[in-house]
A and B are shown apart, each in its own frame.
With several copies, the nearest count.
Chain A
Amino acid sequence: MDFNDNREEAALRARVRAWIAENAAEYEGLPPAKTPEEYVARQRGWQKKKYGGGYAGITWPKKFGGQGRAPMEAIIFSQEESRSAAPTGLYDIGLGMCIPTVFTHGSPDVIQRFVRRALEGDEIWCQLFSEPSAGSDLAGIRAKAVRDGTDWIVNGQKVWTTNAHLCDYGIIITRTDAGAPKHKGLTMFIVDMHAEGVECRPLKQMSGASDFNEVFFDDVRIPDAWRLGAEGEGWQVALTTLMNERLAVGGKPRNSPDWSMLMRVAAITETARGPAVHQADVRERIAQAYINDRGVALTQQRALSALSQGKTPGPEQSIAKLVVARQMQEISRFALDLSESAGFLTGEDGSDLARLQDSYFWAAGLRIAGGTDEILRNIIAERVLGLPGDLRPPKDTPFNEVQPL
C-alpha cells in the first residue's frame, strides 16, 4: 500500500504541474466573471490552451483527436488542474458525456463535424434528457420527434439542463414511436441550440438560485443525419451517456461543509452545558461526518488505485453520492440548529453560516439529482448485491396504452 505516486505518476504530475503553473497564471486572483460572455471566454481560452498543450481528451482515442492515454493520466491532470486557478466546468458535460456518445453512435460525417470542434472548445454542449414526467424513470420521455422527409420535427420540454443558455449543441432524447413499448420508441439526436423554436428559461430552485434551465422545443427541425444510433434505439444510446455520468459524478461538492467546519462552528458556540465542541452529541456528529466524508474520499482512492493498476474500479464508487448528499443535509441542519436563531438570519454571504444555509438547500437537491437516494439504493442492492428488481408492470405494453397502476 502506498498513497504516494509511483515513479511514472510522479514524473507526469511534475510535468503537468509545471505546464499548468505556466498556462494558468493569468487566471490567478481574477474576480468572478461579470458577464456570461466573459465567463465563456475564460473557459474557452483555457480549453484551447489544453488542446494546444495536448491535455484535452487525454483518454480519448487518437482518431477522434484525443491523446489515447491511460485514465490515470487524466486523473492526475484533473487533480492538478483543480488545485490551480484554471477556469473549468463549462465543458464537463459536453466532453464528459455528450461527445463520447457522439463518437460512439454518430455517423462518420457527424463525428467529423462535431468532435474536434468540441474538444478545441469552439462549441459548447449540453445534455437534454430529464423531463417533468421523466425523472427517476428516465424512459418515460414525452418530447416527441416526428419524421418529415429527411428531417425530424421536435416538440416538448426538457428540464434540469445545465448551462443550456450558453450552449451551441445538445444531445436530446425523444419519443419517435408512442405505439412501441416504453423503452423501444425512443431516438437520440443532436440538436442545434440556436435553431428556431428552441427556448431556454432559467429554472429557479427553491433556494432562489438558478443553476439549471428548462428548455422548450417548438417545431424544432433536426436533420436525420444528426440522429445518434438507430431509430428506436435511443434508450441504448442514453445508457452510454449515463454510464459516463456515473463515472463523472464526483464526491462532495467543493466547499460543502465537512467535519472540520462543524468543529469550527462548535468551537464558537455555547450550549446549556458549555461549549458545543465539548458536548458528546456534537462530537458524535463530528465523528460521523469524518467517517462519511473521509470514507467517501478513501473509497474514491480505492477506485483511483484500481485505475492506476489498469483494473476497472469495483462497485464501491456507487455509495459516494448517497452518503455525501445525506451527510450534507444532516450536518448543515445540525450546525444551523447549534447556531440557534443566528443560523436563521441570512444575508452574510461567505460566512460559515451562509455556507451551511446554502448547503442545507443544495443537499435537498443533491439527494435527488443524478439518481435519488432511493434509486441509488435500488442500484446498489440489485447490481452489487444481486437482489431481484422491484415488481413492475409488463414492459411490453405500448407506451400510449400504459395504464399507471
Chain B
Amino acid sequence: MNFDFSEEARELQAQARRFFDAEAGPDAARRILNDEERAFDTEMWSGIVDLGLTALRVPEVHGGLGLGAEEICLISEEAGRSLAPVPLMSTLLFTEALLVAGTPQQHERWLPGIADGSVIGCFGWGEGRSQLPTAMPDTRMAKGGLVGMKVPVADAPIAHVAALTVAGDDGPRLYLVDLAQDAAAVERVDVLDLVRLHGRIALDGARAEPMGGTSAFSDFLDKAAVLTSFEAIGTQDAAMTMAVTYARERVAFGQRIGRYQAVKHKAADMYVKQQLAVAHAMHGAWAFAADAPELRQAAAAARTASLDALTFTAEENVQIHGGIGFTWESDCQFYYRRARALSAGLGSRGFWSERLVRALEQRNAETA
C-alpha cells in the first residue's frame, strides 16, 4: 500500500511552492488590498502559466500535460498557502468542470487556451441569497438563452468563460457561458475577501451550452470539494505557521507566549484539526484519482474537516497575536477573510457535513 503522493507530484508541489514563496504570500496580497481596482497580478499569472500549472490537467492532445488528480491537489494546496492573487483556483475548477462534463467540442474550444494561459475560467453557483450549491437555481433557459444572475463568482471580472449552475429537471446542471457577449454582463462586487476578485454575472438571454446533467454536476462538486479542501489546508497551514512563529517570539510577562499552555494548546489544536483535514483530503485525492465510489463521502469529509481547521486557525491566529492581530497592518486579516471566502465559495461546513452523512447513509444502505 502507498497512501501518499508520488515523488513526482511532491516535486511539482515543491516547484510551485518555491515560485509562490518568492512571488506571492501576504505582501503580494497587500498590494492588491491597497489597489482600489483589485487588479489581479498579471505578471504572477504569466509565471504560473510558464510553470505549466494551468496545463497540468489538460490532456496532451489539447496542449497540456495530461497529469492526474494528485498533482492538481497539491498545486491547490500551494495556491491556498500563497494567497496568490490570481485566478488559478477558478481556472482549475473550470477545467475540472470541462473534464467531468464537457463535450469534445467544448474541450477543443477551451482546453488549449487554458493550457497556454490565454483563457481564464470561473465557476458560479450562488445567486445572492442564502442558498445551497445543490438547491435548484433560479437561473434557467428562457428567451433562447440563459436568464438569471450569478453572484458572487470568484474571478468573474477577469474570466473569459464560466461554468454556471442552471435549473435542470431534477436539480442544478452546468452550462458553459462565453463571457464575451453582451447578454452576460459582468461587474465587480464587494465581498469580505479583499484580495480575491469577485463579480456578478447578469444573464439576459445569454448564449450557453449545456455541460452534462445533474449527476455530472454532482460529480464535479465532489471533485471541486477535494481541490478546495487542499486549498483550505494550504491557507490554514500558512495561518498556523504565522501563529506559531509569533508565539515563539512574542514576550509577555517575561516569557515567550508560546510557553503558556493556553497558547500552546491552541496551536496544538490547530495542528490536530489540520492533520484530520489532511488525512481526509488525501483520501479524497485518492478517490478522485481512482474514480472510487468513496469519492462522495471522502470529498464531503475533506471539505468539512478542512473548513473546520481553517476557521479555527484563522480566528485563533488573531487571538494569539493579540491587539496587533486585530489591526489592518497585520497579515492576520488575510486568513480571517479568506476563511470566509473558502466557506462561501462552495457551500459552508453545514452543507458538507449533511452531504457527508447522506453519503454514509447511502453506503450503509448499499452494504446492508
The chain A residues found within 8 Å of chain B, CB to CB, are 1-6, 9, 130, 132-133, 135-137, 140, 159-160, 182, 203-206, 208, 259-260, 263, 268-273, 280-281, 283-284, 286-288, 290-292, 294-296, 298-299, 301-302, 304-306, 308-309, 316, 319, 322-323, 329, 333, 336-347, 357, 360-361, 364-365, 367-369, 372-374, 376-378, 380-382, 384-393, 402, 404-405
Chain A residues contacting B247 (CB-CB under 8 Å) are: 387
The segment out of B98-106, B130-138, B203-211 that lies at the interface is: B130-138
Contact A337 to B271, CB < 8 A, known contacts A272-B355, A343-B130, A405-B255: no
Cross-chain contact B271 with A384 (CB below 8 angstroms): yes
Complex alpha-carbon distance, A358 and B326, angstroms: 13
A342 touches B131 (CB 8 A): yes
Task: Find the residue from B248, B254, B341 having the highest chain A CB count within 10 A.
Answer: B254
Q: Cβ of A133: which chain B residues have Cβ within 8 Å of it? A: 251
Q: Please tell me if the beta carbons of B323 and A159 are within 8 angstroms of each other in the complex.
A: yes
Quick check: is B218 within 8 A (CB to CB) of the other chain? no
Could you tell me if A137 and B256 are in contact, using CB atoms closer than 8 angstroms?
A: no
Q: List the A residue with the shortest CB-CB distance to B248.
A: A387
Given contacts A5-B1, A271-B354, whether A380 and B336 have CB atoms under 8 Å apart is no
Q: Are B1 and A270 in contact (CB under 8 A)?
A: no
Q: Which residue of B lies closest to A376 (CB)?
A: B268
Of all chain B residues, the one with the shortest Cβ separation from A405 is B255
- A301 and B1 contacting across the interface, CB-CB below 8 Å: yes
Q: Which residues of B contact A260 (CB under 8 A)?
A: 360, 364
Q: Are B336 and A364 in contact (CB under 8 A)?
A: yes
Q: Which secondary structure dominates where chain B touches chain A?
A: helix
Q: Which of B110-118, B173-181, B184-192 contacts A (4 or more CB under 8 A)?
A: B184-192
B199, chain A: closest CB distance, angstroms: 11
Q: Which residues of A contact B130 (CB under 8 A)?
A: 268-270, 338-340, 342-343
Pick from B152, B252, B305 the residue with the most CB of A within 10 Å.
Answer: B252
- Whether B291 sits at the interface, judged by CB under 8 Å, is no
Q: Which residues of B contact A (CB under 8 A)?
A: 1-6, 70, 125-126, 128-132, 134-135, 151-152, 189-193, 240, 244, 247-248, 251-256, 258-265, 267-269, 271-272, 275-280, 282-283, 285-286, 289-290, 297, 301, 304-305, 308, 311, 315, 318-319, 322-330, 332-333, 336, 340-341, 343-345, 347-351, 353-357, 360-361, 364
B289 proximity list for chain A (CB < 8 A): 1
Cβ–Cβ contact A344 & B268, under 8 A: no
In the assembled complex, which residues on chain B have CB atoms less than 8 Å from the CB atom of A299?
275-276, 279
Residues of A within 8 A of B269 (CB): 377
Complex contact B264–A404 (CB within 8 A) = no
20 further interface pairs, Cβ-Cβ under 8 Å (given A135-B323, A338-B130, A388-B256): A1-B2, A2-B3, A130-B323, A133-B251, A272-B354, A287-B304, A290-B357, A291-B301, A291-B308, A294-B280, A296-B276, A304-B1, A308-B2, A309-B4, A339-B130, A341-B126, A342-B126, A345-B190, A380-B268, A387-B244
